[in-house]
A = this chain, B = another copy of it.
Amino acid sequence: MKADFFNVLSVADFVRVLRDFVPLNAEFVPFDATDGRVLAQDVISPEDLPMAPRSCMDGYAIRAQDIFGASEMNPAYLERVGTVRIEAPADFVLRGGECASIVTGGVLPEGADAVIMVEHTEDLGTGTVEMRKSLAPCDNVMLRGEDAEAGRVALYAGTLMRPQEVGLLAALGEDEVAVYKRPSIAILSTGDELVPVTRKPAVGQVRDVNSSMLACSIRRAGGIPVQYGLIKDDVDSLEAAVRKALAENDAVFLSGGSSVGTRDLTVEVMERIEGMQVVNHGVAISPGKPLILARAGNKAVWGLPGQVASAQVVMFVLGMPFVRHLAGMRNAFDQRYWPARRAVLTRNLASKPGREDYVRVSVDASGDVLRATPVLGKSGLLRTLILSQGVIRIPSDSEGVYEGAECDVLLF
């Protein structure tokens, strides 16, 4: 039982260790395959975007000074000298007292500096257009270079790509950009009671649940799960499997070591591998305390708690952010930015100071207010996870939260 009583890290200290790992190398990928990835290099804009000033509206290109002071009661009158088609710039120059009809996206003719919405005008049908509003220069115009300027950084290294950032790459004509590699994560299951999912268990045996759950979580975090299947619960088999997995992947997640014996075995294997240091023998987190981490260079070996709910909570709070961190995400561990919903707690929640509690909760709506109800139950069961939509964090210096308090439910 020694492992339980020494070197238990606080969550904050454990995260500090994780943040010390270095994100993976970069690779070039097609621009439209970058959604969800993190840029490894600045993207420098090769050109101005927009390339020329464009109209934001359907209306008339004008010179703002020509209609200063115009209003419904005191309109200005301009002469319509042409039409700007969307696909080609005007072949005329706008002079004082003139206007040109223009559609959204049309390039402003030379001489024009603003666009008046068609709703604020009236075409008098004689080549004259009535202007019923005053404008300032640049009104309703997308300026040249407003989205990106030639030679300047359009997107910084570290940017998490979303549809809009992919859109910017499309706009700039970037075919390929450098992003951090997706971490390749080995999954090993130990535990002599486990049988493959495809086999019917005898009494005393259970199917290997954690491998599939871990694979899904790793995929959700942007990693590539590599399943090594069931490893025999003896030190030589486990050592051989860990060495192989470590050589072939960026990190290794070991699952199944819930009993003291298996946990000790995991530590023994970690200590046998040269250059590998066991970082801790536990984390002050509930559920999930038996979490073990070892490190060899920039590669981590995680010994996950064997209880299925503990393993999954630890994956959500620490494992998935670690995968994102390796994939280049900045502040992956900063829970303030994680998807969450504010909800009112439906009952008191006690917590033991000295550890961070992550209480599984179900969320339901009552009108516009969400209510969070703790899902209690044994962490060896899947049930509590299936009934929950997320977790509420109770900090280690807190003795609990009262019914009626507003909490952030971290959604999983």
Q: Mark A196-211, 1 if CB is under 8 A from B, else 0.
A: 0111111111111111
- Is A93 interfacial (CB 8 A cutoff)? no
Interface bin, chain A: 35 or more
Chain A residues in contact with chain B, CB under 8 A? 1, 31-32, 35, 50-52, 54, 56, 58, 86-89, 103-107, 118, 140, 142, 146-147, 155, 162-173, 175, 191-193, 197-217, 219-220, 258-261, 306-308, 312, 315, 334, 336-337, 339-342, 363, 365, 368, 370, 378-383, 385-386, 389, 408, 411-412
B203 touches A107 (CB 8 A): yes
A201 to B88, CA, bound (A): 11
Provide the residues of chain B in CB contact with A147, threshold 8 Å.
Answer: 381-383
Nearest CB of B to A292, in Å? 15
Give me the 10 closest cross-chain CB pairs, A-B, nearest first. A339-B339, A164-B385, A163-B216, A103-B259, A167-B213, A87-B192, A87-B193, A170-B212, A35-B216, A86-B193
Nearest CB of B to A24, in Å? 22
Name the residue among A32, A167, A210, A306 with the largest chain B CB count within 10 angstroms.
A167
A166 touches B259 (CB 8 A): no
Q: List 26 A-B contacts (CB under 8 A).
A: A50-B206, A51-B206, A56-B307, A58-B259, A86-B191, A86-B192, A104-B380, A105-B193, A105-B380, A140-B378, A147-B381, A147-B382, A163-B217, A164-B213, A166-B212, A167-B209, A167-B382, A168-B382, A170-B213, A171-B206, A173-B197, A173-B198, A173-B199, A336-B365, A340-B340, A342-B342
